[in-house]
Amino acid sequence: MAAEISRSWLLVSATKRDTFDSAWNSRADQIVLDIEDAVDPKLKPTALADVTGWLQSGTAWVRINDRSTEFWANDVDALKGVPGLLGVMLAKTESADQVTETFDRLGGGTPVLALVESALGIEESPSIARARGAFRLAFGSGDYRRDTGASADDLAMAYPRSRLVIASRIGNLPGPIDGPTVGSNHPVLREQSAMSVALGLTGKLCLDVDQLPVINEVISPTQSDVTWARDFLRDFEARNREVRDGSDLPRLGRAEKIDKLAKAFGITTV
């Protein structure tokens, strides 16, 4: 799945080398091998070596330690030029410079997914989205709540999520990736994923393979939306693409987007 439109981003602890293959073969649109918060500082060198070794034959994103830590330089230098590296997720991003420094040190060709996890990061998100090397924004909701004291309810999380959506648009990036839902309650996961979509986010971090089918389903266009989009496009072509009123062009844009995603996600209609 193209990372620009990927829905489910599965975080996999880099200390669990034996799970890398199964994660790669899962329903995740993307896997992210995590050498940041999921790894004790004493184990980071071994975890980094396991990740770079696996990437000689596998492909994945890697969540690296944030720019302010002593581990950042080692992470970036070890990953530079590794054949299976699709991109890095930069933890605790708070400035555009952090993105660009990471991008440049990796050699200038590796995309940087900026994980925004603090009040400062949220407020700086428009400049982060415009940074050279920025590929997409993601929301570190747990650390954001710890930083701000905000609760996890939808109202409290609406502002930072919307801020990332607006910043992504300003930076001409794909829609942002929401933070993970903790727990295995599928109705809660479905509800939270639907809220992400309603706010304009187009992906979601996840912590367990059991969450993947729900996330992929909810973040995909519905069959009814796909049916509407394809009916509209057929009608639009049948009338030689004639614009009848001021609503036609917005409808066309929405229909083309839905149809493109449906084809990418393999959604068929009756």
pLDDT digits 0-9 by tens, 130-186? 999 999 999 999 999 999 999 999 999 999 999 999 999 999 999 999 999 988 789
Asked whether residue 13 falls in the same domain as residue 26, the answer is yes
Asked if residue 214 has pLDDT above 90, the reply is yes
Asked whether residue 101 falls in the same domain as residue 140, the answer is yes
CA 161, CA 81: separation in Å to the nearest integer?
A: 33
Across the chain, mean pLDDT equals 95
Asked whether residue 173 falls in the same domain as residue 56, the answer is yes
Which of 169, 167, 212, 222 lies closest to 189 in space, CA to CA?
A: 212
Asked whether residue 21 falls in the same domain as residue 136, the answer is yes
Whether 156 is in a domain gets the answer: yes
Q: Which amino acid is at 135?
A: F
Asked whether residue 256 falls in the same domain as residue 196, the answer is no
Asked whether residue 115 falls in the same domain as residue 234, the answer is no
In terms of phi and psi (left: phi > 0; alpha: psi -120 to 50; beta: otherwise), the region of 180 is beta
Asked whether residue 189 falls in the same domain as residue 239, the answer is no
User: Which tens digit of pLDDT belongs to each residue from 8-28?
Assistant: 999 999 999 999 999 999 999
User: Which tens digit of pLDDT belongs to each residue from 224-249?
Assistant: 999 999 999 999 999 989 888 888 89
Among the ranges given (30-39, 83-92, 180-189, 206-215), the one the predictor scored with the smallest mean pLDDT: 180-189
Whether 242 is in a domain gets the answer: yes
Asked whether residue 149 falls in the same domain as residue 17, the answer is yes
**Please, are residues 161 and 201 in contact by the beta-carbon 8 Å criterion?**
yes
Residue 227: give the domain boundaries.
223-265
Whether 168 is in a domain gets the answer: yes
Whether 237 is in a domain gets the answer: yes
In the chain, the number of structural domains is: 2
* pLDDT for the residue numbered 184: 76
CATH of the domain at 103: 3.20.20.60
Asked whether residue 119 falls in the same domain as residue 202, the answer is yes
